[in-house]
Structure 1
C-alpha cells in the first residue's frame, strides 16, 4: 500500500488526492535513498583543509619544487582554498535540496489534466525538479492493470493445446510473440 501512495504523489495528476505528511516523509526518504544510492554510508561533510606545515629538518629535501610564480602567489592560493571551503559549508546539503524540491512540488505546482502523460511532464520538469524527476520513473513505470499480462497468458493458452504439445519451447515463444504483436 505504501508504494501505491507514493506513486500517487509522484503522479502530478493525482498529487492533491493524497496529502498526508507521513506519505510525503516516505517520499522524502525514498528520494534520499535514490540520491545516496543503495549504500548505507552517508557522504562525508566537507572538512577544512589544514594549513601547509612548514618543513623542518630532513623533510626539506622532500618538499616539492615550487616555481617563483607559485611562491609569489602562495598566499592567494591559500585564500582561494579557504573561500572554496567556506562555499562548500554554505552549499545546501542533499537533504535540503530534496526538501526544497518537495516543498515546491507539494505547494504551488498545479496538477495537470488527466489526459496528459505524467512521465512526459516529469521529463519536461527535470531541470526544475532534478531529484524528483529521477525518482519518478520507478513509480510511474508500474502497469495500472494486469490486462497486458492476462492477454499473454490467454495467447499462450490458445497457442498450446493437446494437438500442439510437441512444439519446441523456442517455437512457442515465437508464436506467442507473433500473436501478441500482430
Structure 2
C-alpha cells in the first residue's frame, strides 16, 4: 500500500508527464512528417505549381479590376438620357468585370420592375448576387 505522500508524488509525476507529452504534440519531431499517399507524393510538384499559379492569377485579376476602375473613373460622365444597359453592352470589351457587375444590377432593376419598392429591389439584388 502506498502512503499519502507517495500518492501525491505519483500524481505530480503523472501531471508532469502529461504536460511534457502535450508539449511534444505541439512540436512534432522534425524527422517525422505527415503521412501522404503515393498518389499525393507523385503529384506533389504539380499541386505546388497549381497553388502558385492560382495565387498569381488572383493577384492579376485584382490588378485588372483596379485598372478597370481607374479607367472608368477617368472617362467623362454620360448623359442621363442614355440607356445604361446599352452603354455597358457597348463597353463590355473595355470593362469586362465592371460590365458584368453593372448588367447584373441593371437587369434586376428594369422598366418592367419600375414600381417595386427599394427594399424589394435590395432583396432582388442580394438574391441575384448570391444565388
TM-score normalised by L of structure 1 = 0.30
Identify the structure with bigger relative contact order (alpha carbons < 8 Å, sequence gap 6+).
1
Structure with greater proportional helix content: 2
TM-score normalised by L of structure 2 = 0.41
